[in-house]
């Protein structure tokens, strides 16, 4: 809810408050964001009767939280002679700019016609409305209309005005009480004459949060191709900590736009934690700074480096929407707020709440080398395992036998697919499976009919050598005719067969960023115009094909962000399918993104990216905490492996809702948990990164269990073979010596059954949430009874434990 009394504004969710007021000078002073200023009783009373008088309460908050400055300090700048005690450098604000004394990271930067960069935005008016008004040029969060009463969505628009230069600035706040989330965006409107030379916008952030103290921990997530979302913590006591994507053109695997701010002592389950994200897919900037007055400032928005935007009279520019939440239940509490928000107010369309199908992808099974017959053999093997969706990856179009040619030429290669996409999809459907396709619509190769016909459609600097990535160039999506080509070409592809899934890839970053359709003084608009053009294409295509499940991809996780999720319900998390690497990658994603948005596949061993080996069960259990798929040649597997995958698929279908839509908890390093929101079922994964002898005790703890309920605890059984014990077989009472991996060893392995551990106990939710349960011991180098009482769990092994409430 949003409450206003005169010039005091309270934005309230069940557990958080955002409070600011307008100073006599017209500046918006930020007073508080974090723990609720209202008791639960007062909040519920306001929710039932929003018309009740809150003036005295808000005035008390204002008096308690405003800064009481009487004098300016030393060499700080006084705002004006009427407010000599107002020094913006030592004040918490809702927005900031240069020129009037605030020398911290600014919210907005403008170069005016006279060359000045001074801005002086002061309060003009404010309006509270029901629901959320969407942005005109960018995707954003949405109100699905299901939240009523106290949970209804409201929006506050605060209009600021710079009288000296005739520029309006709108600060837009939206409150989502059901998720404890507040969003912000901004809009610059130039009121000058259409024929004048206009202004140049050099920076417009999406949000600004000023804190009254310093020493916060800034957590960001970094990496590179095939190694995304590695967590990094930095304590900001002075100076500035920055998370940014400078000029890559995408939200990026180098620095994801999701960040956290917390106290140094905050843990996964305890302490205050803020989570922030940006609904944007281009270059971005997030920064936490601390100044000499022990104040901290967080800003985020479009990357100002390399950006500018010309505005003439009557024109406006919108900043992307920023998403913010707070929890005093540690990082896990913050993540649950963010996950709920993404599922309900970012992801949309027919697949928003639907369980994602289990797929097989042809890429690592065959790369570019396939025939229609080999694809059908793979599909038949997948169908036998219970897999639901067959995805044909790269190589099906033009002369695409490698990655040097044919991007942009979206016609079937009839040599590989004699029946075309239509015929192949019909054959896949006849097996009882859905059919999906891979595309890379934003790209073209120099060796393509499209480039030969339209060389000016490529992003590159005319007359200069172009630096390519993956032997390809970017289509200039700043141009409306190029956008229309993408829309028309993809519409033809998506209509060519019964296609129910599309993987939309983008396999390079920007270089030589230049559009031949824009004047020289507008070249710093290219990156943002590209993103807006991309959104137009995605918006049009998802509306034309509302029943297709789209999955975003950009060399894996190079564009994993909320902007893409506004159109595509899920994104491929990483091109690295190594299970051990994926544990760290998916752990990183889990802080800001729900499992239902993360594509995760079981691949071959040794892994194609690392050559590491890992058990098939571990590969499955890691991928299960996401949208499960398989990406290996099922035809080449042994009968035992095929049976194991069939068992995995059947199990996943039974527990799919828990994995994809359950509340997610990070228990400790290498331990994850997902639980139904009602606490009726839960799955816990424990990964053993390193096995050591004489350490046999393991304790299983849980979160989110009903304390009044009793649970049946079991584990997903993991087969162990006699040969896994190697030459230890000779420690048994045998009449002959058995050579390891010899003929006798192979014979014994076929006929001797090894019994791994099986958990089967009843335990209360109170115990699970508290001290936890002691599980059966690890094999610790001192014996194995082969009676199900000892757990064989080696380095690289994992276990899923299942908790089901007893009725």
Q: Which residues are catalytic?
A: 505, 575
Q: Within a 10 A sphere around the Cβ of 660, how many other Cβ atoms?
A: 24
Joined tokens for residue 530:
């590209």
Cα–Cα distance measured from residue 737 to residue 740, given in angstroms and rounded to the nearest whole number: 9
244 vs 222: CA distance, rounded Å: 10
**Cα separation values, 454 from 383, 404, 476, Å:** 43, 18, 11
Distance CA 360, CA 364 (A): 10
Helix axes 526-544, 480-494, angle to 10 degrees: 30
Sign of torsion over alpha carbons 768, 771, 776, 778: positive
DSSP state of 224: E
Structure-token pair, residue 295: 């104040």
**570-572 and 710-715 strand pairing:** unpaired
Task: Give the other-Cβ count within 10 Å of 732's Cβ.
Answer: 12
Indicate the DSSP class of residue 190. E
> Is 784 within 8 Å of 790 (Cβ atoms)?
yes
What backbone phi and psi angles, to 5 degrees, belong to 731? -80, -10
Sign of CA dihedral 190, 193, 194, 199: negative
In 3D space, the residue among 625, 584, 619, 627 whose CA is nearest the CA of residue 602 turns out to be: 619
Could you write out the DSSP letters of every residue in 7-53?
Answer: TEEEEE-SSEEEEEEE-TTS-EEEEEEEE-SS-HHHHHHHHH-TTS-
Under 8 Å between Cβ of 535 and 251: no
How many residues would you count in the chain?
807
* Distance of alpha carbon 796 from alpha carbon 580, whole angstroms: 7
Q: Please return the burial class of 245, using the count of CB atoms within 10 Å of its CB with bins 0-12, 13-18 and 19+.
A: buried
Residues 728 and 675: their CA atoms lie apart, in Å, by 40
Burial (Cβ within 10 Å: 0-12, 13-18, ≥19) of residue 579: buried
Measured CA to CA, the distance from residue 766 to residue 685 in angstroms comes to 20
> For residues 257 and 244, what is the distance between their CA atoms, to the nearest angstrom?
7
Distance CA 254, CA 666 (A): 23
Angstrom distances, CA of residue 684 to CA of 529, 625, 662, 689, 804: 44, 10, 12, 16, 12
């Amino acid at each position: 809810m949003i409450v206003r009394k005169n010039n005091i504004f309270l934005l309230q969710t069940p557990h958080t408050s955002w409070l600011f007021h307008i100073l006599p000078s017209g500046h918006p002073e930020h007073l508080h964001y974090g723990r609720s200023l209202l008791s639960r009783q007062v909040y519920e009373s306001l929710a039932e009767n929003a018309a009740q008088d809150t003036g005295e309460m808000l005035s008390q908050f204002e008096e308690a939280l405003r800064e009481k400055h009487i004098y300016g300090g030393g060499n700080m700048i006084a705002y004006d002679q009427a407010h000599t005690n107002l020094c913006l450098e030592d004040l918490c604000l809702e927005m900031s700019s240069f020129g009037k004394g605030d020398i911290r990271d600014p919210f907005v930067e403008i170069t005016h016609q006279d060359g000045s960069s001074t801005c002086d935005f002061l309060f003009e008016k404010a309006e509270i409305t029901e629901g959320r008004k969407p942005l005109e040029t960018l995707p954003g969060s949405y109100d699905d209309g299901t939240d009523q009463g106290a949970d209804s969505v409201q929006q506050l628009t605060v209009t600021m005005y710079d009288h000296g230069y005739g520029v309006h600035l709108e600060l837009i706040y939206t409150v989502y009480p059901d998720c404890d989330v507040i969003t912000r965006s901004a809009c610059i409107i130039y009121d000058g004459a259409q024929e004048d030379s206009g202004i140049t916008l050099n920076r417009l952030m999406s949000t600004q949060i000023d804190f009254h103290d310093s020493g916060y921990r800034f957590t960001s997530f970094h990496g590179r191709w095939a190694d995304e979302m590695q967590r990094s913590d930095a304590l900001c006591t002075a100076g500035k900590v920055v998370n940014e994507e400078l000029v890559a053109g995408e939200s990026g695997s180098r620095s994801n736009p999701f960040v956290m701010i917390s106290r140094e002592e905050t843990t996964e389950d305890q302490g205050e934690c803020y989570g922030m994200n940006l609904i944007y897919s281009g270059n971005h900037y997030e920064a936490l700074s601390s100044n000499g007055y022990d104040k901290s400032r967080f800003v985020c928005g479009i990357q100002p480096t390399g950006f500018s935007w010309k505005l003439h009279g009557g024109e406006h520019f919108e900043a992307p929407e920023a998403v913010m939440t707070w929890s005093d239940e540690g990082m896990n509490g913050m993540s649950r707020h963010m996950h709920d928000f993404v599922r309900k107010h970012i992801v949309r369309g027919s697949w928003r709440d639907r369980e994602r199908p289990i797929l097989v992808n042809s890429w690592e099974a065959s790369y570019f080398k396939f025939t229609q017959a080999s694809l059908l053999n793979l599909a038949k093997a997948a169908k036998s395992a219970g897999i639901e969706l067959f995805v044909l990856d790269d190589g099906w179009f033009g002369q695409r036998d490698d990655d040097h040619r044919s991007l942009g030429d979206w016609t079937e290669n009839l040599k590989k697919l004699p029946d075309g996409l239509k015929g192949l999809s019909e054959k896949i459907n006849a097996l009882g499976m859905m059919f999906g396709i891979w595309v890379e619509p934003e790209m073209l190769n120099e060796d393509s009919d499209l480039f030969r016909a339209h060389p000016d459609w490529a992003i590159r600097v005319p007359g200069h050598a172009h630096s390519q990535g993956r032997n390809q160039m970017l289509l200039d999506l700043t141009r409306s005719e190029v956008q229309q080509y993408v829309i028309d070409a993809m519409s033809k592809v998506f209509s060519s067969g019964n296609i129910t899934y599309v993987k939309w890839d983008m396999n390079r970053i920007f270089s030589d960023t230049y559009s031949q359709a824009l004047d020289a003084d507008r070249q710093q608009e290219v990156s943002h115009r590209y993103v807006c053009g991309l959104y137009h294409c995605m918006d049009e295509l998802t509306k034309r094909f509302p029943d297709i499940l789209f999955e975003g991809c950009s060399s894996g996780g190079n564009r994993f962000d909320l902007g893409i999720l506004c159109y595509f319900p899920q994104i491929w998390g990483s091109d690295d399918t190594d299970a051990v690497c994926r544990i760290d990658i998916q752990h990183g994603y889990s802080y800001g993104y729900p499992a239902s948005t993360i594509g995760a596949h079981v691949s071959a061993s040794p892994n194609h990216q690392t050559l590491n080996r890992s058990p098939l069960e571990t590969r499955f259990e890691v991928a299960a905490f996401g949208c499960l798929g398989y990406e290996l040649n099922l035809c080449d597997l042994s009968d035992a492996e095929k049976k194991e995958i069939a068992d995995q698929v059947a199990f996943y279908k039974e527990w799919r809702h828990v994995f994809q839509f359950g509340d997610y908890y990070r228990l400790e390093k290498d331990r994850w948990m997902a639980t139904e929101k009602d606490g009726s079922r839960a799955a816990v994964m424990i990964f053993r990164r390193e096995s050591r002898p004489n350490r046999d005790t393991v304790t299983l703890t849980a979160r989110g269990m009903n304390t009044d309920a009793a649970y049946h605890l079991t584990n997903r059984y993991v087969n162990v073979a006699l040969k896994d014990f190697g030459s230890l077989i000779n420690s048994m009472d045998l009449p002959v010596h058995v050579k390891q991996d010899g003929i006798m060893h192979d014979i014994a392995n076929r006929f001797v059954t090894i019994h791994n551990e099986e958990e089967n106990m009843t335990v209360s939710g109170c115990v699970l949430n508290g001290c936890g349960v002691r599980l059966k011991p690890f094999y610790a180098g001192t014996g194995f009874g082969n009676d199900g009482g000892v757990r064989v769990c080696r380095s690289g092994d994992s276990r899923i434990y299942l908790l089901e409430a007893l009725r």
